[in-house]
């Protein structure tokens, strides 16, 4: 395993030269993505694997605000160039906010497969370092491209909603924000994506309505034949570590290999 620790690429890389590249992107927890041993054991014989941090480490932003999508693109391109990975042999796996990022990247770079777990179909307002300071700081988008923030849905919340978040229940804020501050330009458009897309959502999502948002993506896309959506009866957003969700990802990747 090789450690990259710079503002250009901050990740752990498991080399398998000439094989396809899997880039794994975490959710709103800062730092490197937690990934189950089972998923890593499956991936490492047949793929290059990059576990990529994108904020919350010394070399990168402290907050999940205006994170440049170029960071992900440049990190993937660096590995492709240095480890002989073909342009059409890149797979992104993102969970939660990382799933939101992975879906956005379908517009900006070529990839063969995107796996988006408990992802959003919208760009939401970014997350400051201190979540409970959100009412005191100016809102910013989660993501940027070409030095411009992407259009986003601003959070709508009151004191009761803040109390819910302290109990790890964030769904009400997201649902209310979609209703009150809907922004058509914040909707993630995957119509031009040529790769395969696998959506994994949660029936009992406490963070945001991932089942509803995944259904919206699948139903509204012009490329429905390239999309598969599976909803699991799971709580939480640790889909990179739960056995049931990891099994679904492995099964899907095996299907892709045999297609």
Successive 10-residue mean pLDDT values, the chain, 259 residues: 97 94 96 98 97 96 97 97 92 98 96 97 94 82 98 90 77 94 96 96 95 94 91 95 98 91
**Domains in the chain: how many in total?**
1
Per-residue confidence (pLDDT) for residue 78, from 0 to 100: 97
Q: What length does the chain have?
A: 259
| Res 75: pLDDT | 98
DSSP string, 188-253: PP-TT--SEEEEEEETT-SSS-HHHHHHHHHHH-S-GGGEEEEEE---SS-TTT-HHHHHHHHHHH
The closest alpha carbon to 84, from 21, 156, 128, 167, belongs to 21
Look at residue 133 in the predicted model and tell me its pLDDT. Answer: 72
What residue numbers bound the domain in which 206 lies?
A: 2-258
pLDDT of residue 169: 76
Q: What is the pLDDT of residue 258?
A: 83
Structure confidence at residue 226 (pLDDT) = 93
CA 97 – CA 203 distance, rounded (Å) = 18
pLDDT of residue 140: 96
CATH of residue 225's domain is 3.40.50.1820
Please state the pTM of the whole predicted model: 0.96
């Amino acid at each position: 395993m090789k450690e990259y620790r710079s503002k250009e690429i901050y990740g752990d890389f498991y080399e398998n030269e000439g094989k396809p590249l899997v880039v794994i992107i975490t959710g709103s927890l800062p730092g490197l993505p937690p990934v189950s041993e089972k998923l890593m054991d499956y991936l490492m014989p047949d793929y290059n694997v990059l576990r990529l941090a994108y904020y919350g480490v010394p070399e990168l932003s402290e907050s999940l605000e205006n994170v440049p999508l170029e960071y992900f693109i440049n990190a993937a391109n660096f590995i492709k160039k240095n480890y002989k990975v073909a342009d059409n042999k890149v797979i992104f796996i993102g969970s939660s906010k990382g799933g939101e990022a992975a879906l956005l990247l379908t517009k900006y770079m070529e990839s063969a497969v995107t796996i988006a777990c408990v992802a959003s179909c919208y760009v939401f307002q970014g997350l400051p370092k201190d979540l409970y300071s959100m009412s005191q700081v100016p809102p910013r988008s989660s993501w940027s491209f070409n030095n411009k923030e992407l259009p986003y849905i601003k959070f709508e919340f009151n004191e009761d909603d803040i109390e819910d978040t302290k109990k790890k229940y964030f769904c009400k804020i997201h649902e209310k924000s979609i209703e009150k501050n809907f922004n058509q330009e914040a909707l993630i458009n995957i119509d031009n994506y040529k790769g395969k897309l696998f959506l994994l959502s949660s029936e009992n999502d406490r963070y945001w309505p991932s089942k509803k948002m995944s259904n919206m993506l699948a139903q509204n896309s012009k490329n429905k034949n390239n999309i598969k959506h599976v909803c699991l009866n799971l709580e939480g957003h640790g889909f990179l570590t739960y056995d049931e969700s990891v099994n679904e990802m492995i099964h899907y990747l095996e299907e892709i290999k045999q297609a």
